[in-house]
Amino acid sequence: MPTELDLLAALRRTIDDALAQTLAGATGHSARLGEAMAYAALGPGKRMRPLLTLATAAGLGADPAVALAPACAVEFIHAYSLIHDDLPAMDDDDLRRGRPTVHKAFDDATAILAGDALQALAFEALSPSTRVWTADPENSDDWHAPSPPERS
């Protein structure tokens, strides 16, 4: 029988896989920027924020799988905030979680762009799981969620 620690480890792996998959699907940027984004978002960490997101969904009776995209978004926002916080104009930290900060591992400009891109990616990760409820024009009592737009 798996212990709570086993379950947490499995959830962390699921989250890490989802983060990596979302990052791999992000296009339109240079390889260096993608490396900096992955360096920040996939680096060592406890993943407490996405774990809490999944736990909240489960606690509210939802399938935690539907909260995976929002969990990734929360982690991308967290990574973005740490990148920007570590910059020379802010805290000017050299290390984060025992390794060089993004602006030290890459450079200041790449760090700023990586943080900005992670913030944008957080909203992109949310977009397919976000529903704007509209009334069906045929039957005003029938509310439905429109299908998300096709991704190119």
User: Global pTM?
Assistant: 0.82
Which amino acid, residue 105?
A
H helical segments located in 66-107: 68-86, 102-105
Instruction: Identify any residues that bridge with 33 across adjacent strands, giving them in sequence order.
Output: none
Report d(CA 129, CA 106) in Å as an integer: 33
Q: What is the pLDDT of residues 65-115, one digit of tens each?
A: 889 999 999 999 999 999 999 999 999 999 999 999 999 999 999 999 999
Q: What is the pLDDT of residues 11-65, one digit of tens each?
A: 999 999 999 999 999 988 999 999 999 999 999 999 999 999 999 999 999 988 8
Report d(CA 65, CA 69) in Å as an integer: 8
Q: Which domains does the chain have, with CATH numbers?
A: 4-144 (1.10.600.10)
Report d(CA 43, CA 39) in Å as an integer: 6
